[in-house]
Structure 1
């Protein structure tokens, strides 16, 4: 069943044609990925299909009663509303029912309203749906639903927007770079969710593992033409290579035929006969094919690197805290030539703080950092990508240098360098404000490499870059003779480029793991299964002990030992459960504030002290709860 059809749609931005006369459709059950270079209009196309923008020509038809949910690359959320209002307030009767129920639960004094909400939940059969929403929010680590959206970081806003799209239970889900700002656990959960859910999907993503495991259809937009491949990303790569090989052979054959036919045309044939007319028509068709050009332009990265001396970077007993919250605790490491290290850890574990310590943006509380005299850092920082909006692309580069030294003693002009980074002559005079997200990142990377660094620190370099540019960047980094330190949620990128990892485990603990992310994931899966096995063994042991106790309790004395809860203890047990829920909620609120970049040092110090108190209270209440639960059983 066809859900959506696009017929002959075109879109331009000023004089720049993004795409022209595209025709395609999306059927029920298809999970489609759109692949194209940066600046070719991927985001614009998704917005047109989602009804958020209009095309210049052509039509988009959506099947009646089809519900579409759209995740924008840069979500435009209501900043003055809470997460709760944003997630639940949708044109969806089930969501409205659940919203009324959640509000009634909060105002539990009004039993009449609560009963009405429960009855409505029953009649709408919304209980499973409610649990599903809570699972989605939990997996995306959205705990404090009363937070104002305006107080959230960019990554938190993206996760809220993702939740808003998923909870709508749409027929067609349109996602623009869904894995940006998600940690590894979230990406893997989303991957499994989209793979198993009966939802049709259209998405743009640079995550190649994600493409391979989720998608069953690839649409490639290249040189204004749309190519369709029925299969996953690996299948697409194979068939694309075959297509390009066949296309090149067809062009070569047409060129040979064109040269022969051109001589015949120059002899001025009289086009009176039917055969002559047919041959002339055929000549012009051959000419079109022969004069085709295969666009094989790729970013060329061969910038000269400054010489790296014997001493590179040494960290000795490094410490950094915000209040009582430890970010780095007594960490030591001596960087060696050609070190290729990946950084892994949940949001708020201290990764960004660590990078700022290395680049002298923050000072350590203890220990010392010794940087070699020859080290030139190149720090690709998401927060630091502030390009001047009112300048043209070539002006941004010329502000750094008119001529750029290259490898093997060569040099390039600013214009020549930009051509290597796929900025054509016209694009070089485009204002930065007109560039797409991927083009901005390509320009930022260009300005970074112009400084000839020998120690690259890359903080989420893959976000918004197209797959073709990523492949070239990976090739360059693979041969880069300096040191690499990478923070990325792109698992393929990490697996290809890193040889060991710094694992940020929280509370300032950093572990040096010998292996890439794939090795680390396998290691964690083994540990998880061992934990599960230990838990099952403990359960069996507890059951065995309980059986022995019940067998022994045949005498009046033994029966007295297996007494039941008193009324007072029963009340205490119930109260402990409520207290623990309140403490867990507050713990989640504080954790969310820790992740926010807006929190100041004083606030963090107070919250750290409160968190410590909460953890102690939880521990005490859990012990008492276990004692009482034994009596209950």
Structure 2
């Protein structure tokens, strides 16, 4: 394989911190590398050194002549006066890129819902991210550097990007290499064949691992086990040496000095203390039988119905993950549950014993506490907390959350995004809630912190609702998942995120079929775009009612309304079936020794599965008409 990019002995120190020290790395054709490490360790800096936008203090970066390089920065600094077309294709002639199937695939995957003339100033953060990605991918560089590419992308967008990169840089015989910095562990496993870990412990080292994220975790665990074994042996030897010194000959002889030197060497070889990310499990207040119920709830925003006569019941200990298209109402749903918003019709029934706390997406709750130190924020919420039978102070709690003493006494306004999110999560937990609402909790957190948060949530006994595009997190902490598909309903997902992606693909195929363009046009805002939105996100009239079915026979508005009602009816029945299936499985487990009862319950279960299959087929037919 051809060598593309290399770093030879690079070193970088910022202030008193050593980020990189004598680091040598290389990229060859076919390499797909994921970079992980603690926040602030230097992951983004390493990418910028590769790209040539940052210079190391020592060493050099070499690149093969004639090769091209493209980089996506963590922040999308796009000119507000530019349009989508300006950013993606610049001055290139339309016929040059419109005839390229690879370019049309990027259009369909990332910007099919945007108009070419949409000004950047009117785009949301997620839309700007997708435009920046599209502009980079259509260039098809030999070396692609991506810094947090999944930020602001929904589950569907992340899945498309992973498939595209794996196909472009992972097929046998392909040229080019990929390096990505991301906290999305599912993405790392799907895309990457190697991992680099920037330690961030002051040594400036970067360790290499073969395989994706799962393989990296296994290899790191094995290294930790070997280090622990070596440390145990070293400790045993140290104890023997020190015991000998206490019993040894007078200090005027040479032997004790030799022993002292040996003991000093053992002590110096002791590894530095790990930056602990242990998160304390907080006691929760008593939670009654009734928690939160949405009863016949409807909510509309200008130009769109988010929820249409929705009923959804949450019980004690329920753990739901929520996925959905952007703008479908995920954050609005959390606002309803938190009591920050009232429905247009229907009601939100709240249990008498519930204590709800919410982690918002931008952690704006901390803005008004900017002058306080991190430890003071926790003291203000609760001075002392009992964890595992021990009383801990606010200072001890922040230390357990990974804050060094220096950072614990840093004003909130000077904390990084990841530190603010950790602090706010701890602030919520010390208040002992029994209902926890988390809106994109993985933003700005490194992979080690995410693992610690998951360990905490995994054993948390209250009712948990998580909105996230992080599939790894959802599959770990949520027992069930639901989807907001933009049709005003909450759809249960027995098959998890994979089922959601299948439903979205079916809906897109149905929309393309109804508009008579099964392959899509590859042009943003054109008839191949799902929903056909323009610059401001308004409907452009390319849906089934306007486009017809491709043969000249247009669907009537009555047919479309009837199909939408049928879709809603089927989804409500599917939700009931899912609940009944769960109850039957539980009953079968409880009556496992009663053969007759198990046989009867199993027959009921088979009938439910058969009905579910028929309903899902009917849903697809109705969805094709509803669009």
TM interval, shorter chain, is: 0.7 to 0.9
Shift of 1:364: 1.2
Q: Distance in 2 between matches of 1:265 and 1:49?
A: 58
Shift of 1:398: 4.7
Aligned counterpart, 1:447: 427
Deviations 1:35-86 (A, max 9, x none): 2122322223222322233334443333333322111222222222112112
Higher fraction of helix = 1
Report the TM-score when normalising by structure 2. Answer: 0.75
Aligned counterpart, 1:552: none
Query: Judging changes above 3 Å, is the alpha-carbon distance between structure 1 residues 29 and 513 closer, same or farther for their aligned structure 2 residues?
Result: closer
Asked if 1:197 corresponds to 2:188, the answer is: no
| 218-227 vs 458-467, which moves further | 218-227
Query: Judging changes above 3 Å, is the alpha-carbon distance between structure 1 residues 451 and 16 closer, same or farther for their aligned structure 2 residues?
Result: farther
Query: Judging changes above 3 Å, is the alpha-carbon distance between structure 1 residues 427 and 171 closer, same or farther for their aligned structure 2 residues?
Result: same
* Contact 1:82-1:145 within 8 A present in 2 as well: yes
Which of 103, 106, 117 is residue 136 of structure 1 equivalent to? 106
Unaligned runs of 5+ in 2: 170-175, 556-627
* Contact 2:338-2:357 within 8 A present in 1 as well: no
Which of 430, 455, 459 is residue 439 of structure 2 equivalent to? 459
Q: Which secondary structure state, in structure 2, belongs to the residue aligned with residue 458 of structure 1?
A: strand
Which of 546, 554, 577 is residue 617 of structure 1 equivalent to? 546
- Equivalent positions of 1:137-152 (< 5 A) are 137-142=107-112, 143-152=114-123
- Equivalent positions of 1:139-288 (< 5 A) are 139-142=109-112, 143-198=114-169, 199-222=176-199, 223=201, 224=203, 225-258=205-238, 263=245, 286-288=266-268
Q: Which secondary structure state, in structure 2, belongs to the residue aligned with residue 212 of structure 1?
A: helix
Shift of 1:450: 3.0
Deviations 1:366-386 (A, max 9, x none): 101111232222211214435
Shift of 1:405: 2.8
- Equivalent positions of 1:33-432 (< 5 A) are 33-89=34-90, 96=91, 99=92, 101-102=93-94, 121=96, 130-142=100-112, 143-198=114-169, 199-222=176-199, 223=201, 224=203, 225-258=205-238, 263=245, 286-289=266-269, 291-293=270-272, 295=274, 297-385=276-364, 387-388=366-367, 391=371, 393-394=373-374, 397-398=377-378, 400-401=380-381, 403-407=383-387, 411-432=391-412
Aligned counterpart, 1:561: none
Runs of 4+ in 1 over 6 A off after TM superposition: 279-284, 522-525, 527-532, 580-583
* Contact 1:340-1:483 within 8 A present in 2 as well: yes
Deviations 1:175-231 (A, max 9, x none): 122222222222222111111213311112222222222211111223333221122
Query: Judging changes above 3 Å, is the alpha-carbon distance between structure 1 residues 213 and 75 closer, same or farther for their aligned structure 2 residues?
Result: same
* Contact 2:76-2:129 within 8 A present in 1 as well: yes
Shift of 1:268: 6.5
Query: Judging changes above 3 Å, is the alpha-carbon distance between structure 1 residues 377 and 490 closer, same or farther for their aligned structure 2 residues?
Result: same
Paired positions, count: 531
Q: Which secondary structure state, in structure 1, belongs to the residue aligned with residue 490 of structure 2?
A: strand
Shift of 1:446: 2.1
* Contact 1:314-1:333 within 8 A present in 2 as well: yes
Q: Distance in 2 between matches of 1:253 and 1:283?
A: 13
Shift of 1:136: 0.7
Q: Distance in 2 between matches of 1:138 and 1:41?
A: 34
Query: Judging changes above 3 Å, is the alpha-carbon distance between structure 1 residues 386 and 3 closer, same or farther for their aligned structure 2 residues?
Result: farther
Aligned counterpart, 1:593: 536
Shift of 1:307: 2.0
Report the TM-score when normalising by structure 1. Answer: 0.74
* Contact 1:34-1:42 within 8 A present in 2 as well: yes
Q: Which secondary structure state, in structure 1, belongs to the residue aligned with residue 283 of structure 2?
A: coil
* Contact 2:32-2:178 within 8 A present in 1 as well: yes
Query: Judging changes above 3 Å, is the alpha-carbon distance between structure 1 residues 398 and 504 closer, same or farther for their aligned structure 2 residues?
Result: closer
Shift of 1:320: 0.8
Aligned counterpart, 2:491: 511
* Contact 2:526-2:532 within 8 A present in 1 as well: no
Q: Distance in 2 between matches of 1:395 and 1:261?
A: 41
Query: Judging changes above 3 Å, is the alpha-carbon distance between structure 1 residues 614 and 217 closer, same or farther for their aligned structure 2 residues?
Result: closer
